Amino acid sequence: MSSVTRGPRKLYVKSYGCQMNVYDSQRMADVLAREGYVETSTPDDADVLVLNTCHIREKAAEKVYSELGRLRVLKQDAARDGRRLTVAVAGCVAQAEGEEIIRRAPVVDLVVGPQSYHRLPDLVARAAETGRVVDTEFPAEDKFDHLAAPSAAATRSRGAAAFVTVQEGCDKFCSFCVVPYTRGAEFSRPVAKILAEVEGLVAAGVKEIRLIGQNVNAWHGDGPDGRAWSLARLLHRLAEVPGVARLRYTTSHPRDMDDALIAAHRDLPALMPQLHLPVQSGSDRVLDAMNRRHDRAEYLRVIERLKTARPDIALSSDFIVGFPGETEAEFRDTLALVDEVGFASAYSFKYSPRPGTPAADSDDQVSEAEKADRLARLQARIDHHAAAFNAATVGRTAAVLFENPGRHDGQMTGKSPWMQAVQVMAPPSVKGEIHTVRITGTGTNSLYGALVSPLRHDVHGGRDAPDAAMRVASGGH
């Protein structure tokens, strides 16, 4: 086989969508590394190419088909060179559309759903032989038990901050959302597995652990004491792991922000003052139609309690505009909510009807023009508050965890406790370290800062936060 003469077989994974996919892509690479695959940074010389897809909105799903169109040419070029390129579609489009993908795009050899990644070596081998392999089962076994622990080398290349999946799936069934169908029912990993993974990452130099799950604060994994633990308890335990300097968790549901979790934001210095808490809409009628299981006042109460626990907390959210039946007045309730909370950042989306979800069948769809108009108006409000939040940090000091080279020569970039990207003139040696930085200005997508000399290590940071200024920037609480 030509791959023998070419050295190790090469793998290229392209990730779309959420952080769970980024994590899953890394684990797919880990599983295939055990079979001798090495990752390549370009699709051109790959033997196996995986598209790890997102189905959350129509646009995201359609992107995959245009990419598959381009891959047809790549596959033909490889064949001309006497190479077989195996094309796999993984992730939520794979789960939702199954073999329909191969029917629509015959370039695809393998369709693999998120619950089957531990079977990849076998699936890829079969697909390379025969093509047209589909595995979108929801197996009873726990895929995490079979996925390789990240190798030391793989871990090292992952830098200062790393994701750890603690929870997968969702039982909430918001009426617009495909996640309960593509990722299945909620599943929580046990404490021992999470601890082992975190300890491995920290031993390889990771400083910041980001716990991820579609509904992360609903996590209730088995503890070593045989009882189900809460996320708050898990965070307390992880904060005790030597070398864990920072903790974050995402994405949370307002209904599952319990007292202990809110108190953890007050009590745990390692828990960063930042939370992504999607609300989707500011209108009670729309929230009800979305089946969000909370109203506007309940959401605001959670925010209030969070700000009491950690006054400088940076809040972010997700919004959907143009949900079926949303009136102009209801949309304005969303704008008013944004002004009331003063989010540090937020994502906003036009409602996209997804096959199989209840809201998609509504005959009350909002026009495309109306959605586009509302999106632009909402984004302007969000940008206004984000700019105010960032401006409030100028002149203050913050602990920055350096992750990568910056945009310009001599610069390094890192994250503030509030998850802002900060560009700083600093030697490459600061990578993986936390240093105190004075924030000197704001740019479009990041802040600028200067190292406070001499280089001083700051373990957690964020307590010298601009509390008062933050409060003004985030809505006057």
For residue 214, the partner it binds in ligand SF4, ligand 5AD, none, with Cβ less than 5 to 8 A by kind, is ligand SF4
Residues 249 and 60: beta-carbon distance below 8 Å: no
What lies within 8 Å, CB to CB, of 287 at 6+ separation is: 280, 281, 294, 295, 296
For residue 57, the partner it binds in ligand 5AD, ligand SF4, none, with Cβ less than 5 to 8 A by kind, is ligand 5AD
> Is 25 or 155 the residue whose CB approaches ligand 5AD more closely?
25
When CB distances to ligand 5AD are compared, the closest residue is: 318
Binding-site member from 12, 16, 163, 176 for ligand 5AD (CB under 6 A): 176
Q: Return the structure tokens found at 331.
A: 């949309």
What lies within 8 Å, CB to CB, of 460 at 6+ separation is: 245, 246, 269, 270, 399, 417
Near ligand SF4 by CB under 6 A, which window of 97-105, 169-177, 205-213, 344-352? 169-177
The CA distances from residue 286 to 215, 249, 292, 299, in Å, are 21, 27, 9, 14
Residues 222-261 that bind ligand SF4 (CB under 6 A): 253
Binding-site member from 29, 162, 179, 191 for ligand SF4 (CB under 6 A): 179
* Nearest residue to 316 (alpha-carbon basis) of 350, 279, 284, 289: 279
* Nearest residue to 350 (alpha-carbon basis) of 321, 330, 377: 321
Residue-by-residue DSSP string for 144-205: HHHSPPPPHHHHHTT-SEEEEE-EE--S---TT--HHHHT-S-EE--HHHHHHHHHHHHHTT
Binding-site member from 90, 170, 212, 264 for ligand SF4 (CB under 6 A): 170
Q: By CB under 6 A, tell whether 174 contacts ligand SF4.
A: yes
- For residue 378, the minimal CB distance to ligand 5AD (Å) is 12
What lies within 8 Å, CB to CB, of 103 at 6+ separation is: none
Residue-by-residue DSSP string for 50-69: EEEE--SSHHHHHHHHHHHH
> Is 298 or 318 the residue whose CB approaches ligand 5AD more closely?
318
> Is 318 or 464 the residue whose CB approaches ligand 5AD more closely?
318
Nearest-angstrom CA–CA distance, 383 and 442: 13
> Is 196 or 376 the residue whose CB approaches ligand 5AD more closely?
376
> Is 179 or 470 the residue whose CB approaches ligand SF4 more closely?
179
Angle at Cα 353 formed by Cα 332 and Cα 14, nearest 5°?
Answer: 110
The total of other beta-carbon atoms located within 10 Å of residue 68's CB is: 20
Residues 241-300 that bind ligand 5AD (CB under 6 A): 278, 280
- For residue 288, the minimal CB distance to ligand SF4 (Å) is 14
- For residue 1, the minimal CB distance to ligand SF4 (Å) is 43
Q: By CB under 6 A, tell whether 341 contacts ligand SF4.
A: no
Nearest-angstrom CA–CA distance, 122 and 34: 12
Residue listed under structure tokens 């033909």: 76
- For residue 352, the minimal CB distance to ligand 5AD (Å) is 4
For residue 352, the partner it binds in ligand 5AD, ligand SF4, none, with Cβ less than 5 to 8 A by kind, is ligand 5AD
Please give the DSSP secondary-structure letter assigned to residue 367. Answer: P
- For residue 98, the minimal CB distance to ligand SF4 (Å) is 20
What lies within 8 Å, CB to CB, of 96 at 6+ separation is: 55, 61, 178, 181, 182, 355, 356
Near ligand 5AD by CB under 6 A, which window of 204-212, 350-358, 414-422, 433-441? 350-358
Binding-site member from 113, 114, 159, 180 for ligand SF4 (CB under 6 A): 180
Residues 8-67 that bind ligand 5AD (CB under 6 A): 56-57
For residue 442, the partner it binds in ligand 5AD, ligand SF4, none, with Cβ less than 5 to 8 A by kind, is none
- For residue 142, the minimal CB distance to ligand 5AD (Å) is 25
Residues 155 and 204: beta-carbon distance below 8 Å: yes
Nearest-angstrom CA–CA distance, 291 and 293: 6
Q: By CB under 6 A, tell whether 359 contacts ligand SF4.
A: no
Binding-site member from 173, 203, 383, 395 for ligand SF4 (CB under 6 A): 173
Binding mask 309-338 for ligand 5AD (x = CB under 6 A): ---------x-x------------------
Contact positions vs ligand 5AD (CB under 6 A)? 56-57, 176-177, 278, 280, 318, 320, 349, 351-352, 354
Contact positions vs ligand SF4 (CB under 6 A)? 170, 172-174, 177, 179-180, 214-215, 253
